């Protein structure tokens, strides 16, 4: 496998000597690899058709890394070889949470949300390119209004994909939510760079127990969208939220808005994985359509 830039990053004539399969999510084959210089690396592989997914993942990781606020795996190389696409990155040894871990994560995420935005996507909601949310496509058309962006690039595409699951009443209620979204969501004071898929499975502890973010679905949005997802599948420790809000004050009415943000993720899960998420989606639609 020809690693292109890898030689410049790790030294000349670096090759993979062996690899061991590890868990890497639902979509890709993942390996811990030993390089010829004795270093470890993390390798994701998929079909050639998945090359665009890896390209967008690299761009998202680098966008987060450029904020300088939290540890993000370094990218070594990306490409297509022998009928496979691949992404090779820094291998981060997992450890146990250090004392103050949740506070560190809360402060770091707040710093990331407050970080200056790159000129390529400053001042607008969205991103300079579309990307993926899990294995689903994610539209990032840049818009000046947050509510408009969340309606047109988040909820509407997922509701259209899921429409076959809904009867006429739920379809009508879904349209009501879209048409009245400005009465549910608010425009934030400033745009923030978001991780975009911030559940516990995409946060890990490194060997010294400090937080690391992986597998992003980045875009510029309202910081509440990231926070809402931290509560979707079990929630983070209360110390995380206390630390976060000590840096960025909690906007009044967040609990009212939280589940409309998470409706996007539940719809995506419904569209990717099937009916197991349908009841949760319908419950939220009915509640917000009243």
**3-state secondary structure labels for all residues of the chain:** CCCCCHHHHHCCCCCEEEEEEECCCCCCEEEEEEECCCCEEEEEEEEHHHHHHHHHHHHHHHHHHCCCCCECCCEEEEEEECCEEEEEEECCCCCCCCCCHHHHHHHHHHHHHHCCCCCCCCCCEECCCCEEECCEEECCCCECCHHHHHHHHHHHHHHHHHHHHCCHHHHHHHHHHHHCHHHCCCCCCCCEEECCCCCHHHEEECCCCCEEECCCCCEEECHHHHHHHHCCCCCCCHHHHHHHHHHCCCCCCHHHHHHHHHHHHHHHHHHHHCHHHHHHHHHHHHHHCC
Task: Kindly report the pTM of this predicted structure.
Answer: 0.93
* Integer Cα distance of 241 and 21 in angstroms: 35
What's the confidence (pLDDT) of residue 5?
44
pLDDT band of residue 121 (cuts 50, 70, 90) is confident
Does domain 101-288 bear CATH number 3.90.1200.10? yes
Fold of the CATH domain 6-90: Phosphorylase Kinase; domain 1 (3.30.200)
- Domain residue extents for the chain: 6-90, 101-288
| 77, 197, 210, 259: the active-site residue | 197
Contact 125, 140 (CB under 8 A): no
Give the mean model confidence (pLDDT) for residues 148-160: 98
- Tell me, yes or no, if the two domains 6-90 and 101-288 fold the same way: no
Give the mean model confidence (pLDDT) for residues 16-25: 80
What's the confidence (pLDDT) of residue 276?
97
pLDDT of 7 over the 50 cut:
no
In the chain, what percentage of residues exceed pLDDT 70?
94
**Upper half-sphere CA count for residue 276 (Cβ side, 13 Å):** 4
What's the confidence (pLDDT) of residue 83?
85
pLDDT band of residue 8 (cuts 50, 70, 90) is very low
pLDDT in tens, 56-73: 999 999 999 999 999 999
pLDDT band of residue 234 (cuts 50, 70, 90) is confident
Give the mean model confidence (pLDDT) for residues 162-180: 98
Q: Which residues contact 164 (CB under 8 A, 6 or more apart)?
A: none
Query: Dmax of the chain from CA atoms?
Result: 63
Give the mean model confidence (pLDDT) for residues 7-26: 67
Q: Is 182 one of the annotated active-site residues of the chain?
A: no
Give the mean model confidence (pLDDT) for residues 209-237: 96
pLDDT of 12 over the 90 cut:
no
């Amino acid at each position: 496998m020809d690693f292109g830039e890898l030689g410049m990053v790790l030294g000349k004539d670096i090759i993979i000597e062996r690899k061991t399969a590890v868990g890497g999510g639902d979509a890709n084959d993942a390996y811990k690899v030993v390089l010829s210089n004795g270093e470890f690396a993390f390798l994701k592989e998929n079909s050639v058709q998945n090359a665009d997914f890896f390209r967008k993942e690299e761009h998202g990781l680098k966008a987060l890394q450029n904020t300088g606020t939290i540890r993000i795996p370094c990218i070594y190389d990306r490409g297509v070889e022998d009928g496979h696409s691949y992404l090779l990155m820094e291998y981060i040894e997992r450890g146990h949470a250090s004392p103050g871990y949740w506070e560190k994560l809360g402060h770091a995420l707040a710093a990331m949300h407050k970080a200056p935005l790159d000129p390529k996507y400053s001042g607008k909601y969205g991103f300079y390119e579309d990307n993926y949310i899990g294995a689903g496509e994610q539209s990032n058309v840049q818009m000046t209004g947050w509510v408009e962006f969340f309606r047109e690039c988040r909820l509407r595409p997922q509701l259209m994909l899921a429409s076959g699951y809904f009867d006429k009443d739920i379809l009508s209620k879904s349209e009501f939510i879209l048409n009245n979204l400005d009465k549910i969501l608010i425009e934030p004071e400033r745009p923030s760079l978001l991780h975009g898929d911030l559940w516990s499975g995409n946060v890990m502890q490194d060997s010294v127990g400090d937080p690391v973010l992986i597998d992003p679905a980045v875009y510029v949005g309202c910081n509440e969208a990231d926070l809402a997802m931290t509560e979707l599948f079990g929630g983070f420790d209360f110390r995380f939220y206390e630390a976060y809000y000590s840096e960025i004050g909690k906007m009044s009415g967040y609990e009212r808005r939280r589940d409309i943000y998470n409706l996007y993720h539940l719809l995506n899960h419904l569209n990717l994985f099937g009916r197991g998420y349908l009841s949760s989606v319908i419950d939220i639609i009915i509640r917000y359509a009243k």
